[in-house]
Structure 1
Amino acid sequence: MAAVAEPGSLDNVRAVLAAHRTDLTRRYAAVGTGIGRPDPAGPYVITVYVTEPALVARTDESVDGVALRFVLTGPFQARRT
């Protein structure tokens, strides 16, 4: 039997992000997503990088029990290494 990740664990947040990344990107016209921990003693959150300033004020959004944090940014560009 596979182990189930604790609800607030990094493994759980990774699984939630993997399951919802495409939907989050479409819904919020996001330029990227990731995982963060704004407060080192607090829970992990899904960070949604957006170009629309109005989204940054949203603080009560969540998906599958994981809080969303919106960060205003410009477009991301891949760099050749």
Structure 2
Amino acid sequence: MQGMVDLIERTENLEDEEVQSLQEFAADLTDGSEPTPHGLPSGPGISPARERKLEIEAQRDIELLEEARVVAGPEDAGQNGEGDRE
């Protein structure tokens, strides 16, 4: 039972982090003023450092979701393969 509580808390924290990450992503798309190593504007888009950070976060999210599926087990999966959330 405690394992499920921990998993729910981690999922909620992950959702908060995902919202923050999406807000930062949107800011990156609209800003585009981050300087390159040469001091020139990089133009619209995501800086390479931010892109790498997003890749790392996405990989962590995938690992947590896979772990959640293992903990939940097939009996907790809905028709679409996702666990029911109350």
Rg bigger for which structure?
A: 2
Both proteins in one fold, TM over 0.5: no
More helix, by proportion: 2
Considering Cα pairs closer than 8 Å and 6+ residues apart, tell me whether 1 or 2 has the greater RCO: 1
More strand, by proportion: 1
TM category (shorter chain) comes to under 0.3
TM-score (norm 1): 0.26
TM-score (norm 2): 0.26
